[in-house]
């Protein structure tokens, strides 16, 4: 998962609220310790000190009084309240503030959406373009690419290579030196041909310089993009703030893709810094594969970071890729906090179509990182298939939760588990592992259903 280290630290700070012994009341000292841990974790992730201070002050303002008046009997309630405040404040830290952008990120079906990509060299612009194209292709959008980077030798070849792998048409030139006319001609052609996503790659430079900004402005004036996406590299942490502001004022950057969030400790700093400039982050890049692009939504991101799973993201993903009655039914149940083995079966079925499995499984509520099968996607799909086969051997009543398979020391339940194992050619331990996993997810869905954490937000179609 993106930012695994930060997530782990935030999760363990919230664990303090559970308390070692149930009869210990949550006190002001507990809250101080939680806030100290959260502050340290964010600082290590290179989040700007002022943002961290604001976050801690806001949380204290929201729950400080309740904590100082607390008695052990209201611990559970208070723990939820503090947790909620932490989630809300982290979410608001990652939500764009300030002036915002002139053109919000909206994609319209059946119309040409011209998307101009800008960024410094090495930020991951070309890679992100391929991922972006892949994202829309998988959702059935008619997509094409234009290479208006005439500055870097090899830029056209790199784009061409990706376009060929993705089987999307591309436009560019080895001889024409004027990026503005290439952009204009390429976009015109694809608009005429009815393309819905027309991606324009522009030159990156080693650093911000006048020439680059002028060129971006000219291209932007020539193709009149529906959106300009600024690609930036998370490894720079909070330093991206100045860069994002400079690009924002030069070309009216509408949205941002933050790349290289995989395995980089400074990602939290980069994301919060972008949010502070007022530009919305639309996607995160988390690897070098075409699939390693995640739509960004602050609420889902925080929920996932804190180990609550990304129920909303998961549902959005299911919604964008599947349709049908089953899905509606499952989503309704989950919103009510219900989650049967049959729901798990349907989730696994959808997941196996969604790929890449590590990313999608990481979104599933209650799916702890260590339960996501290791190894490549092959290994994971094998595991998923096995789970599906086990559930195929269950009766309707078992799948629908009308018979409890979790009863301990119950000979009838043991017999059922042995029957399911025999029917699916597995060891009873594997059946129990699946039941255990279902139990964890069920309790997470139930908690989230009650807390209302699954709904809300302002998700747009991406």
Footprint on this chain of ligand GDP (rule: CB under 6 A): 119, 121-127, 204, 259-260, 262, 285-288, 292
In the bound state with ligand GDP, the residue whose beta carbon lies nearer, of 104 and 211, is: 211
Shortest spacing between CB 141 and ligand GDP, in angstroms: 21
In the bound state with ligand GDP, the residue whose beta carbon lies nearer, of 257 and 405, is: 257
In the bound state with ligand GDP, the residue whose beta carbon lies nearer, of 83 and 128, is: 128
In the bound state with ligand GDP, the residue whose beta carbon lies nearer, of 126 and 299, is: 126
β-bridge partners, 113: 197
> Distance of alpha carbon 380 from its chain centroid, rounded?
20
Shortest spacing between CB 280 and ligand GDP, in angstroms: 18
Q: Output the DSSP codes for 31-45.
A: HHHHHHHHHHHHHHT
Q: Output the DSSP codes for 370-419.
A: GGS--SSHHHHHHHHHHHHHHHHTS-HHHHTTSS-TT-TT-HHHHHHHHH
Conformation bin of residue 216: beta by default, left when phi > 0, alpha when psi is -120 to 50: alpha
Shortest spacing between CB 284 and ligand GDP, in angstroms: 8
In the bound state with ligand GDP, the residue whose beta carbon lies nearer, of 124 and 186, is: 124
Torsion angles phi and psi, residue 335, rounded to 5: -65, -25
In the bound state with ligand GDP, the residue whose beta carbon lies nearer, of 196 and 292, is: 292
- Evaluate whether 352 touches 384 at the Cβ level (below 8 Å): yes
Q: What count of other Cβ atoms lies within 10 Å of the Cβ of residue 8?
A: 15
Shortest spacing between CB 236 and ligand GDP, in angstroms: 13
- Evaluate whether 216 touches 248 at the Cβ level (below 8 Å): no
In the bound state with ligand GDP, the residue whose beta carbon lies nearer, of 237 and 287, is: 287
Shortest spacing between CB 231 and ligand GDP, in angstroms: 6
In the bound state with ligand GDP, the residue whose beta carbon lies nearer, of 105 and 290, is: 290
How far apart CA 293 and CA 393 sit, in angstroms, is 36
Shortest spacing between CB 269 and ligand GDP, in angstroms: 16
How far apart CA 308 and CA 343 sit, in angstroms, is 18
Shortest spacing between CB 264 and ligand GDP, in angstroms: 8
In the bound state with ligand GDP, the residue whose beta carbon lies nearer, of 13 and 243, is: 243
Shortest spacing between CB 246 and ligand GDP, in angstroms: 16
- Name the strands in the sheet holding 143-148, side by side, starting at the edge strand that comes first in the sequence: 170-171, 143-148, 197-202, 113-119, 227-233, 255-259, 281-285, 293-295
Shortest spacing between CB 117 and ligand GDP, in angstroms: 9
Shortest spacing between CB 308 and ligand GDP, in angstroms: 24
Helix (H) or strand (E) holding 451: helix 428-451
Cβ burial, residue 411 (10 Å; 0-12/13-18/19+): exposed
The CA distances from residue 340 to 53, 217, 398, 430, in Å, are: 42, 54, 9, 18
In the bound state with ligand GDP, the residue whose beta carbon lies nearer, of 232 and 344, is: 232
In the bound state with ligand GDP, the residue whose beta carbon lies nearer, of 121 and 437, is: 121
Shortest spacing between CB 119 and ligand GDP, in angstroms: 5
Burial 434-457 (b: 16+ CB within 10 A, else e): bbebbeebbebbbebbeeebbeeb
How many DSSP H helices and E strands does the chain contain? 19, 8
How far apart CA 413 and CA 425 sit, in angstroms, is 18
- Evaluate whether 232 touches 256 at the Cβ level (below 8 Å): yes
């Amino acid at each position: 998962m993106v930012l695994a280290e930060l997530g782990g630290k935030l999760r363990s700070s919230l664990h303090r609220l559970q308390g070692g012994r149930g009869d210990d009341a949550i006190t002001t000292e507990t809250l101080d310790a939680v806030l100290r841990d959260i502050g340290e974790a964010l600082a290590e992730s290179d989040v700007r000190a002022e943002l961290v201070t604001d976050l801690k002050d806001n949380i204290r303002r929201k729950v400080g009084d309740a904590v100082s008046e607390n008695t052990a009997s209201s611990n559970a309630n208070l723990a939820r309240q503090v947790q909620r405040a932490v989630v809300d404040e982290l979410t608001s830290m990652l939500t764009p503030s300030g002036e915002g952008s002139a053109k919000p990120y909206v994609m319209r079906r059946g119309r040409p959406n011209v998307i101009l990509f800008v960024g410094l060299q090495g930020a991951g612009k070309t890679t992100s373009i391929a991922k972006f194209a892949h994202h829309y292709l998988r959702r059935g959008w008619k997509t094409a690419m234009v290479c208006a980077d005439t500055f870097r030798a090899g830029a056209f070849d790199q784009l061409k290579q990706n376009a060929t792998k993705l089987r999307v048409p591309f436009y560019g030139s080895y001889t024409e030196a004027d990026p503005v006319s290439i952009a204009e001609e390429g976009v015109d052609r694809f608009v005429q041909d009815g393309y819905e996503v027309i991606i324009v790659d522009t030159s990156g430079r080693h650093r911000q310089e006048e020439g680059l900004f002028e060129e971006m402005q000219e291209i932007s004036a020539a193709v009149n993009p529906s959106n300009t996406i600024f690609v930036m590299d998370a490894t720079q942490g909070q330093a991206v703030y100045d860069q994002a502001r400079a690009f924002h004022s030069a070309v009216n950057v509408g949205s941002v893709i933050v790349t290289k969030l995989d395995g980089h400790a400074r990602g939290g700093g980069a994301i919060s810094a972008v949010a502070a400039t007022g530009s919305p982050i639309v996607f995160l890049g988390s690897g070098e594969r075409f699939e390693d692009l995640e739509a960004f939504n602050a609420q889902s991101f925080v929920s996932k970071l804190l180990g609550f799973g990304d129920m909303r993201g998961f549902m959005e993903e299911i919604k964008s890729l599947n349709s049908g009655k089953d899905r509606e039914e499952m989503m309704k149940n989950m919103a009510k906090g219900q989650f049967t083995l049959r729901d798990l079966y349907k989730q696994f079925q959808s997941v196996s179509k969604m790929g890449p499995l590590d990313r999608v499984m990481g979104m599933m509520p209650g799916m702890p990182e260590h339960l996501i099968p290791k190894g490549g996607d092959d290994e994971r799909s094998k595991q998923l298939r096995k789970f599906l086969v086990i559930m195929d051997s269950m009766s309707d009543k078992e799948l629908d939760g009308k018979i409890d398979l979790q009863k301990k020391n119950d000979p009838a339940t043991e017999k059922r588990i042995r029957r399911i194992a025999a029917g699916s050619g597995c060891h009873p331990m594997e059946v129990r592992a699946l039941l255990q996993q279902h139990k964890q997810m069920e309790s997470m869905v139930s908690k989230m259903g009650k807390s209302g954490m699954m709904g809300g937000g302002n998700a747009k179609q991406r």
